[in-house]
């Protein structure tokens, strides 16, 4: 049964109920929570992940998968990074994908001249504006940055290609410098300006304030890029949208420099709660698992156990109190419906935290007939063994079947015992994780 089939339980409030309590707040009148776009940078920021090496074929496969998912833009490594990077950029541009293809360059004419010849739909230009980067990276002052930015932007625009200007390390840059450079590039007609939390230092409140301030001085769209060093990348992306940013940079599994950026899957988990219709109609959420597996394999990492949506236990419920409520109504302990992502929910009942309601569900799955009191008795036996050692599904099934053989008459016609074949029919997707699907909850 899907969670949608249950009546929505709402708290009684004094004022008029908001249709979706997790949706955009009416006071965020510039919010793009229900109108955002994704720039996937798995093939740019993601290539900066320590483990990443992409062959041309892998890049093409990832680009096609992202396109099929429905990202709005795909950002590629600078064509000046290497000869093969340029060729791969050209090859991806020729695929005829629906997503617009971007490449990412320094704020320099040498890079811009190469970028516009690759066939990209847009160029993302970046230059550091913080005192750290101005002193230790490129060594240029704000006047030089503005002069170069104008030259690069006008050149790219003259080729009929989209152009975005971004200030690297925005949150450690001087606000007056920032607003001045953004105003300058907005005036000459950039498609977007970008805010980048390059070192992952920003918190959601700072993000909201900077986006709102910037929104009041530029007329173009605002893109945001958040690193996850302090664990705020998804929250910052969401808050940026609340403040009026339109585009968020993501990568599959969040891969990027150091511990990476806002992950595509994690952001989708956040956004489906806030804007379910928009997210479900725009993005092919069932493809997230395959895309993550594709990228995980390409960069030789495992999907983290606690990954939103696709972590092996993201929809697994264990404690007896949780299991009982989930069996009655999945919305009790789930804000996400696994079916929206082509996933299943599981009840992990083979442990000492289980309760009789979960065990009753298993008894029903095994097609056995026990009274509630009998289920409670067998639950006690299971918990006793669970106090001694970790359990697996076979342990629990054996205890149930032995108990049933002692106390009950088999439910099946002709007094036939439940055979192992019956048990094997139950969908146990990942036996190694000791999980079992409970049909009644799905
Ligand atoms: C925060 C980010 O992720 S930004 C994107 C990072 N992406 C990349 O670095 C792409 C991969 N990079 C590369 O392949 C190489 O670094 C290249 C081809 C871009 C440059 O290589 P090199 O010429 O050997 O220079 P190197 O990497 O050592 O240093 C960077 C140079 O770019 C300059 N620079 C750095 N940022 C910028 C910028 N945003 N705009 C203009 N110039 C810049 C630096 O001053 C330095 O110049 P220098 O040659 O005068 O010292
Ligand atoms: O181009 C941008 O906006 C972001 C560049 C980047 O990767 C960063 O600043 O972390
Ligand atoms: Zn980055």
For 204-240, how does the pLDDT look when each residue is reduced to its tens digit (9 = 90+)?
A: 999 999 999 999 999 999 999 999 999 999 999 999 9
**99 falls in which pLDDT band (50, 70, 90)?**
very high
What is the average per-residue pLDDT within 189-194?
Answer: 98
What is the average per-residue pLDDT within 70-94?
Answer: 98
What is the average per-residue pLDDT within 251-256?
Answer: 98
Q: In percent, how much of the chain has pLDDT > 90?
A: 88
- How do residues 360-405 score in pLDDT, each as one tens digit? 999 999 999 999 999 999 999 999 999 999 999 999 999 999 999 9
Picking from 186-190, 261-265, 429-433, which range would have the lowest pLDDT averaged per residue?
429-433
Quote the pLDDT of residue 336: 98
**Calpha distance 352→389 (Å, rounded):** 9
For ligand 1, atom 46: residue with the closest CA: 138
**9 pLDDT exceeds 80?**
no
Closest atom of ligand 1 to 111 CA is: 19
What is the average per-residue pLDDT within 188-199?
Answer: 98
Task: Give me the residue spans of the domains in the chain.
Answer: 22-298, 316-441
What is the average per-residue pLDDT within 37-58?
Answer: 98
SS3 127: strand
**415 pLDDT exceeds 60?**
no
- Residue recorded with tokens 């230059």: 127
For ligand 2, atom 1: residue with the closest CA: 126
More confident residue, 418 or 404: 404
**133 pLDDT exceeds 90?**
yes
- Asked whether 130 and 177 are in contact (CB, 8 A), the reply is no
- Asked whether 262 and 238 are in contact (CB, 8 A), the reply is no
Quote the pLDDT of residue 409: 55
294: closest CA among 85, 104, 43? 43
**299 pLDDT exceeds 60?**
yes
**Dist. CA 45 → ligand 2 center (Å):** 8
**19 falls in which pLDDT band (50, 70, 90)?**
confident
**171 pLDDT exceeds 90?**
yes
Quote the pLDDT of residue 440: 36
For ligand 2, whether the C-beta of 198 sits within 6 Å is: yes
Query: What is the best residue among 104, 169, 260 to mutate for testing ligand 2's pocket, by most ligand atoms within 8 Å of CB?
Result: 104
- Residue recorded with tokens 């955009």: 24
- Which of 386-395 are b and which e, b meaning 16 or more Cβ less than 10 Å from the residue's Cβ? beeeebebeb
**17 falls in which pLDDT band (50, 70, 90)?**
low
Quote the pLDDT of residue 249: 99
Query: What is the best residue among 49, 135, 138 to mutate for testing ligand 1's pocket, by most ligand atoms within 8 Å of CB?
Result: 138
**437 pLDDT exceeds 70?**
no
Pocket lined around ligand 1, Cβ cut-off 6 Å: 48, 78, 80-81, 106-108, 126-128, 137-138, 168, 198, 257
Residues carrying an active site annotation: 322
Closest atom of ligand 2 to 104 CA is: 1
- How do residues 347-363 score in pLDDT, each as one tens digit? 999 999 999 999 999 99
CATH tag, 22-298: 3.20.20.70
Rg of the Cα atoms in the chain = 27
Picking from 75-84, 352-361, 415-424, which range would have the lowest pLDDT averaged per residue?
415-424
Picking from 35-44, 387-396, 419-428, 429-438, which range would have the lowest pLDDT averaged per residue?
419-428
What is the average per-residue pLDDT within 88-116?
Answer: 98
**Calpha distance 264→163 (Å, rounded):** 23
Quote the pLDDT of residue 8: 43
């Amino acid at each position: 049964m899907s969670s949608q089939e249950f009546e929505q339980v709402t708290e009684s409030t004094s004022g008029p109920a908001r249709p979706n309590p997790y949706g955009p707040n009416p006071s965020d009148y510039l919010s793009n929570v229900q109108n955002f776009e994704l720039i996937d940078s798995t093939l740019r920021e993601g290539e900066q992940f320590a483990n990443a090496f992409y062959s041309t074929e892998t890049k093409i496969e990832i680009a096609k998968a992202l396109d099929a998912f429905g990202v709005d833009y795909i950002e590629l490594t600078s064509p000046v990074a290497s000869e093969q990077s340029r060729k791969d950029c050209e090859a991806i541009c020729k695929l005829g994908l629906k997503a617009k293809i971007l490449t990412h360059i320094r704020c320099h004419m040498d890079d811009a001249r190469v970028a516009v010849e690759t066939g990209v739909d847009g160029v993302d230009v970046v230059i550091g504006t913080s005192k750290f980067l101005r002193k230790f990276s490129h060594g240029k002052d704000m006047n030089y940055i503005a002069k170069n930015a104008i030259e690069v932007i006008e050149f790219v625009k003259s080729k009929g290609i989209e152009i975005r200007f971004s200030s690297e390390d925005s949150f450690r840059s001087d606000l007056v410098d920032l607003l001045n450079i953004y105003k300058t590039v907005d005036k000459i007609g950039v498609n977007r300006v970008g805010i980048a939390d390059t070192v992952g230092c920003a918190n959601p409140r700072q993000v909201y304030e900077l986006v709102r301030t910037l929104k009041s001085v530029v007329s173009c769209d605002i893109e945001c890029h958040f690193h996850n060093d302090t664990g705020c990348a998804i929250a910052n992306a969401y808050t940026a949208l609340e403040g009026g940013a339109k585009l968020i940079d993501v990568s599959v599994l969040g891969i990027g420099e150091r511990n990476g950026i806002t992950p595509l899957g994690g952001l989708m988990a956040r956004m489906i709660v806030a804007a379910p219709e928009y997210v479900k109609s725009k993005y092919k959420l069932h493809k997230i698992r395959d895309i993550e597996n594709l990228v995980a394999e390409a960069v030789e990492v495992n999907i983290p156990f606690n990954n939103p949506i696709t972590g092996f236990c993201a929809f697994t419920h264990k404690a007896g109190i949780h299991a009982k409520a989930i069996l009655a109504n999945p919305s009790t302990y789930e804000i996400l419906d696994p079916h929206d992502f082509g996933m299943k929910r599981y009840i992990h009942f083979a442990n000492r935290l289980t309760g009789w309601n979960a065990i009753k569900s298993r008894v029903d799955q095994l097609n056995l007939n026990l009274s509630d009191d009998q289920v409670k008795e067998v639950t006690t036996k299971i918990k006793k063994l669970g106090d001694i050692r970790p359990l697996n599904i076979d342990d629990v099934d054996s205890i149930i079947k032995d108990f049933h053989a002692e106390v009950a008459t088999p439910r099946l016609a002709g007094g036939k015992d439940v055979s192992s074949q019956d048990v094997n029919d139950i969908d146990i997707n990942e036996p190694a994780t000791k999980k079992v699907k409970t049909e009644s909850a799905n």
